[in-house]
Amino acid sequence: MKKILVILSMLFCVQSLDAQVKVNDVVDDDYVRNSVSVIVVNRGDSYDARIFSMAGGLGFGEKFDKNEIPTDRILIKADRKNSVETELITSSLEREGVGKEIISYWFQRDASGMMSDELILKRGMYSVRDQEILNSQVSKVGISALGEKGYDLVKGSYVYVLDYYNLKENTKDKSYSAELKASIYQLVCSEEVMEQLYEAWIYNEDSPEVVAQKNALYDSLVFPMEYVTTVEASGSSSTSLGEAVNNAFSQAFYRSEKAVDDWNVTSSIISTRPIKAKIGTKEGVTNGQRFQVHKIVEDRHGNLDSKSVGYVRATEVANNSNVATGDTEPSCFYQISGLKIEEGMILKQKNDLKMGVTVAGGFGGYSPFEIGLEFLSHINTKGTSRYVMLDVGIGGDSYNDLSVSYIVPAIGMGIAVRPIRPVEIMPFIQIGMDILSTVSIANIDYKLTDWSSYVGRVGARASWQVVYPIQIFAQAEAAVNFGAGSYYAFYNDIMLAVGKGHEQAVAGFSFGVKVNF
């Protein structure tokens, strides 16, 4: 009995702890701008200069302020075959005093030790929201004091350390690739740290002795950096190593935004027809970007929880890259899933790749089985979406000893309209190839155009979103086959003669599933 009681009490404790964690995870519309400094890891090899110049052009967009610090690269001598260990990066940052460099940048500290809050006030004003403007209009301190918000922004200072490794550069085959380990650190900006800084603040009326004392105090201060997370990424290219480096960075940045919660933009919904929120270019919002909608629920004990209501995508992105006036232009969004969205609910950035994978089976067309990849290239406020499509159909026929298989890769685009939210109707057009192969192909000098024909395809698809992110669909299509190569025509004609093979024009139906991610 005693044992059971102990177990029950332990379970209760675990549950209470869990509940406390939930409270901490409550979403709020309190997003503040972050700033970032980029540091590249040098390895002491021939790639150092190139990688540094390539990485210099990489941007974080408007969403981040950039802290230009003197340390823009750190040297860690190691073979570029593998990434360097995080501990080595951490100790390098400490050794270089990167935290102090960031503080010196924020406070524009010059060689004589004089500091200024000009940048802080400027960034503070830029990050002010309409609510703060409205509040300041009725308060005694007024709008001019809003820049002081900048002091809160200092704690959102990050360092993004880029370590490129396993670089492959094959100019003959035009094959380039790079792997990237991106380590993220945040400035520790406690009240104690800031108090120490203010003690070292030099005033015009300070005597040379006081100035010397304050400078000595500043030199003795330590502004630590806290390790946040590491993301791994890789990039490849058929044009240059620079492009591979860039692609790896894009992937790393996408993953970093997912990994660092404070980097995810939050805002409240100000209207629902259409859905609008006061975020835009300043927060790095782009067309099609996904946001999760939350509502705040309070239980009878006063504990808060945020519950997901659904997902929306940004459609018309407002240019809000200026200081708020109290009447900021909002961006528009389209709801792609979930329950009824209401004014005052919270949007939180929840990036996805804007892609979908399709798997379909059908009859009548060129391929009984098809897989595809679709990318959402644009969406408007009515939900009309443009997709870039890449499909690969697979099929085969046999007659006596002859067995042929067909692979039908095709690219195209579709424009989907939504008569009601869960339903998408998408006419599409594609062009591709119908590639034939047989077992006897090994004995023949292979040339793709001899073994293939071109395929043009038009169709329409009706999709139903069963549960986000899964859609089921039915598709009707008409396809034509033209410009057949000699071997293609030869083997396909044999098949056609026995009522098989690919006819010049076909109509087909298929059914499938699409999973968005």
Partner 1 sequence: MKKSLLHIVIALLVALPVSLFGQSKREIKSLMESFENYEVTTVKVAVDGTKFVKVWGYGKKVDDAIVQAKKNAVHASLFRGLPGMESAMATPPIFKDPNAFDNNKDYFIDFFLTGGEYIKYINVTTDGVPSGQDRRQVRGGYKVALYVQVMFDNLRDKMEADGLVNKLSTGF
**Residue from 78, 143, 304, 489 in contact with partner 1 (CB under 8 A):** 304
Q: How far is the CB of 150 from partner 1 (least distance, A)?
A: 18
**Residue from 343, 357, 441, 472 in contact with partner 1 (CB under 8 A):** 343
Q: How far is the CB of 28 from partner 1 (least distance, A)?
A: 5
Site pattern 141..180 for partner 1 (x: CB under 8 A)? x---------------------------------------
Burial (CB < 10 A; 0-12, 13-18, 19+), residue 324, is buried
DSSP H or E run through 87: helix 86-96
**Residue from 48, 117, 130, 316 in contact with partner 1 (CB under 8 A):** 130
**Residue from 93, 161, 269, 436 in contact with partner 1 (CB under 8 A):** 269
| DSSP label at residue 76 | -
Per CB under 8 A, which region of 173-181, 299-307, 406-414, 456-464 contacts partner 1? 299-307
Q: Of 310 and 362, which has the nearer Cβ to partner 1?
A: 310
Q: Does 298 bind partner 1 (CB under 8 A)?
A: yes
Q: Note the maximum CA span of the chain.
A: 103
Per CB under 8 A, which region of 109-117, 127-135, 357-365, 408-416 contacts partner 1? 127-135
Distance of alpha carbon 330 from alpha carbon 326, whole angstroms: 12
Distance of alpha carbon 486 from alpha carbon 466, whole angstroms: 46
Per CB under 8 A, which region of 34-42, 46-54, 125-133, 406-414 contacts partner 1? 125-133
Distance of alpha carbon 290 from alpha carbon 313, whole angstroms: 4
Please, what sign has the CA dihedral across residues 196, 201, 206, 212? Answer: positive
Q: How far is the CB of 152 from partner 1 (least distance, A)?
A: 16
Q: Which of residues 383-422 bind partner 1 (CB under 8 A)?
A: none
Q: Of 66 and 307, which has the nearer Cβ to partner 1?
A: 307
Distance of alpha carbon 173 from alpha carbon 254, whole angstroms: 29
Q: Does 139 bind partner 1 (CB under 8 A)?
A: yes
Residues with Cβ < 8 Å from 386, sequence gap 6 or more? 376, 377, 378, 379, 413, 414, 415, 416
Distance of alpha carbon 431 from alpha carbon 123, whole angstroms: 50
Q: Of 24 and 171, which has the nearer Cβ to partner 1?
A: 24
Q: Which of residues 14-73 bind partner 1 (CB under 8 A)?
A: 26, 28-30
The three-state secondary structure class of 163 is strand
Q: Of 335 and 516, which has the nearer Cβ to partner 1?
A: 335
Residues in the chain, total:
517
Q: How many residues bind partner 1 (CB under 8 A)?
A: 34
Distance of alpha carbon 101 from alpha carbon 69, whole angstroms: 6
Paired with 271 in beta bridges are 276
**Residue from 55, 285, 346, 455 in contact with partner 1 (CB under 8 A):** 346
